[in-house]
Amino acid sequence: MPADYYGDAAENTYRLCLGVARVGCDVQVLTTDADGPRRTADVEHGRDILVAAGFRVRYAHRLPYVTVTPGLRLRLLLETRKADVVHLTGCNPAIALPTLAACAAFQKPIVWSPRGAMRRWRGGGWKIGPGVTTTIGRRLAPRRIALHAVSEEERAACAARMPGIAVATIPNGVRIPPEPQHEPGDGRLRIGFAGRFEPRQALGNLLEAAALLRASGPAFSITIASVGEPRLQRDLRDRVARLGLGETVTIIDRGSGPARRNFFQHLDLFVLPSHFENFGAAVAKALARGVPVIASRGTPWRQLDERGCGLWVDNDPASLAAAIRRMSAMPLAEMGARGREWMRREFDWSAAARRMCNLYAALSYDLPLPLTEATTELSQA
């Protein structure tokens, strides 16, 4: 999984491919070496790379600073012709439209995972790429097609954008560590955030909440582990300095290595103040490691309250500060244990892989789609 820039988005696709290979599917992935808007990953091109039994990847080289990938379309035609079922991820028109057209030409069934691209959040606008892809894609798509959503919110968005096409809700899974490890702290409430630096991740709200708590709240520290555009990183560091939080907030690179592996074991509480999340894999990772969570209402984690492992709150500084104050007086270890059990019971990758294989089989044999069987709700409508 060399594309560190894309974080959970790349990891979720990798885990799903690994899972379906383990339950008997033969998985051939065709992708690019892109590792962010400008970087490419150091990978071998032009041949299949065996990742695991039944799971191979072929990388096509993307030209620097553009989205053009010579050779990808020809290989796409060859792989589509051989496949029993095609699984398309994302809404990049340069990849999605040729894939849909190839499936129609060869009469191949397709599962399409938009990965949040069909949803909009207030203030985020509507990107041209997904809009073009969904408009043209409806006309190009083969008869046997199903959209794959990872939350009920995404299912509703897909149904609205692509009416008349079946939508299967199969949430992402999460790796459950054998035993969560928690390092003792210094007495302060250790708060963490992990994600990409981008506008929808309202880190400014968390920092403003920290400023409110500094005046009247529990002793705390915040660790932010993230990657993203350098400009946004500079803006965040400048904001930390302006708020006088330099001794309270630590910013680390979320790339691979010990900092990423050991991040959660140094936390008492995880906070995700996002305007919009299609799934919010960082929430699942925190819970799987026994760390309770505060998530904003832009995420699909409404059940945090009823499961007794966190709070689902409005995404503004005052609400976040109040939630942190409230959580500081709650039994965090017990809440973390409940969250871990929830993840173990309902969000195991092997279960997601089996459900996806059922969807592949239904499309391949032109059977009724097992949509209700594949649904695990993160939030209630």
Give Cα separations from 177 to 51, 120, 142, 288, 343 (angstroms): 21, 33, 40, 7, 11
Distance, CA of 75 to CA of 199 (rounded, Å): 35
> Taking the CA of residue 76 as centre, how many other CA atoms within 13 Å lie in the half-sphere pointing to its CB?
21
- In the sheet with 145-149, reading across from the earlier edge strand, the strands are 86-89, 110-113, 145-149, 166-169
Closest CA to 7 of 282, 291, 230, 313: 282
Calculate the average pLDDT of the chain.
87
Distance, CA of 55 to CA of 73 (rounded, Å): 21
Predicted TM-score (pTM) of this structure: 0.88
Distance, CA of 362 to CA of 367 (rounded, Å): 5
What mean pLDDT comes out for the span 262-288? Answer: 93
Domains and CATH numbers, the chain: 4-173+349-364 (3.40.50.2000), 189-345 (3.40.50.2000)
Lowest mean pLDDT among 23-37, 54-68, 282-296, 297-311: 54-68
Q: Which residue has the higher pLDDT, 352 or 134?
A: 352
- pLDDT of 123 reads 59
Per-residue pLDDT of 235-250, as tens digits, reads 888 999 999 999 999 9
What mean pLDDT comes out for the span 295-317? Answer: 96
Distance, CA of 64 to CA of 9 (rounded, Å): 21
Closest CA to 309 of 294, 289, 324, 328: 294
Sequence-separated (6 or more) residues with CB below 8 Å from residue 100 = 88, 110, 112, 137, 140, 141, 142
> How many other CB atoms are there within 10 angstroms of residue 247's CB atom?
7
- pLDDT exceeds cutoff 60 at 31: yes
What mean pLDDT comes out for the span 182-207? Answer: 88
Per-residue pLDDT of 79-107, as tens digits, reads 999 999 999 999 888 889 999 999 999 99
- pLDDT of 40 reads 77
